[in-house]
């Protein structure tokens, strides 16, 4: 187990603010569909985790300081996110008949001179996104900030020795957000913020178990030898984000061997996943990680509408139990999972495995 004293409560960090960020639609391979990343995802997880006998619900009691935020994101991205929410509010005030509005990029600068021109314009949004599936509304910045604060608060508790296990119910999720871009429902990288917060404890690792590769997290730590990034995900030849997550991506020139991608074939189930998990955990152990941030996506389950994987419910208990054998502090950061009610029971299984080993 994660070496917790008897009767120790596990803090679960939660905020209601996420509910005000609720875009109506997204795009899948160019086709408009209803938005999968809905508020009920986190509410289901909160209800299930709150019902466990060893958890206590906590608010975000810390705000991410600039020293942490700007270690993983460029200030221009943060300024854009704030301004985009203000722009949405202004448009909504001028056009109340349209109801709640969400801004998406509409011009993407494919060449440097295009980017230079667009950055000077009244709408540089295409400079800060790699897809159209991170729309920004009037309350989006509040939700983005609250989500990051949850990850930071959970990590501070672990860093300060108040607990060795904490869960941040982050929404919006974060692992597709890079140093200077949004995408895939993600705006700020919550896992990266948590990892940066834990650096005073020494080098550590991020294990990403979301169905989709965390391209943003990979890029943020690409040249660093103090944070190992390991991802188990669907084959990027077939699945989002398509441009990252391949096995030959092993880290930058300054950090070879500090990035490990373990893509699995479409339709993979428990057996293949267990093998990849063993490889991931051995790598984390061999690197001598002092702590772990777990990017916990539940879109690998058999019920998920966005996934081809067929993981059983018991697999999430197994994941938690195996991670607990590392016997290092763990911060869990909620990522994806779009079988809405499954978020609850699977999060509970994962955390129980981590807690009890």
**pLDDT tens per residue across span 171-222:** 999 999 999 999 999 999 999 999 999 999 999 999 999 999 999 999 999 9
Domain contains 235: yes
Domain contains 161: yes
Range of the structural domain that residue 151 is part of = 10-62+143-356
How far is residue 98 from each of residues 88, 92, 95, 132, measured CA to CA in Å? Answer: 12, 7, 6, 20
pLDDT value, residue 231:
99
Domain contains 106: no
Provide the CATH number for the domain around residue 156. 3.40.800.20
Domain contains 138: no
Q: Answer yes or no: is pLDDT of 154 > 90.
A: yes
Contact partners, residue 183, CB within 8 Å, separation at least 6: 129, 130, 131, 133, 134, 176, 177, 215, 216, 241
Domain contains 301: yes
Q: Which residues are part of the catalytic machinery? A: 176
Domain contains 105: no
pTM: 0.96
Domain contains 102: no
Domain contains 135: no
Total domains in the fold of the chain: 1
């Amino acid at each position: 187990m994660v070496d917790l004293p008897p009767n120790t409560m596990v803090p679960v960090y939660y905020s209601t603010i996420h509910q005000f960020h609720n875009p109506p639609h997204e795009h899948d391979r160019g086709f408009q569909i209803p938005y999968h990343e809905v508020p009920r995802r986190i509410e289901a997880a909160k209800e299930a985790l709150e019902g466990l006998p060893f958890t206590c619900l906590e608010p975000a009691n810390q705000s991410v300081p600039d020293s942490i935020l700007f270690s993983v994101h460029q200030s221009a991205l943060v300024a854009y996110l704030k301004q985009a929410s203000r722009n949405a509010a202004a448009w909504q005030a001028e056009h109340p008949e349209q109801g709640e509005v969400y801004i998406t990029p509409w011009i993407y600068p494919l060449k440097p001179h295009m980017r230079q021109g667009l950055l000077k314009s009244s709408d540089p949004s295409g400079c800060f996104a790699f897809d159209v599936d991170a729309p920004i509304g009037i309350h989006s910045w509040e939700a983005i900030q609250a989500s990051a604060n949850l990850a930071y608060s959970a990590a501070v508790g672990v860093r300060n020795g108040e607990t060795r296990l904490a869960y941040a119910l982050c929404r919006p999720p974060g692992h597709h957000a890079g140093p200077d871009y949004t995408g895939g429902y993600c705006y700020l990288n919550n896992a990266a913020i948590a990892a940066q917060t834990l650096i005073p404890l020494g080098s550590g690792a991020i294990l990403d178990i979301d169905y989709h590769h965390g391209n943003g997290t990979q890029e943020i730590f690409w040249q660093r030898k103090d944070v190992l990034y390991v991802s188990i995900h669907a084959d990027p030849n077939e699945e989002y984000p398509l441009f990252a997550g391949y096995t030959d991506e092993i880290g930058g020139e300054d950090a070879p061997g500090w990035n490990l991608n373990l893509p699995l074939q479409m339709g993979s189930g428990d057996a293949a996943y267990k093998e990849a998990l063993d490889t991931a955990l051995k790598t984390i152990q061999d690197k001598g990680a002092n702590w772990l941030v777990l990017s916990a996506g539940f879109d690998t389950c058999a019920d998920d509408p966005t996934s081809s994987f067929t993981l059983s419910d018991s697999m999430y208990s197994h994941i938690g139990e195996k991670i607990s054998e590392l016997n290092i502090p763990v911060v869990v950061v909620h990522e994806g999972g779009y079988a809405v009610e499954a978020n609850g029971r699977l999060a509970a299984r994962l955390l129980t495995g981590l807690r009890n080993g």
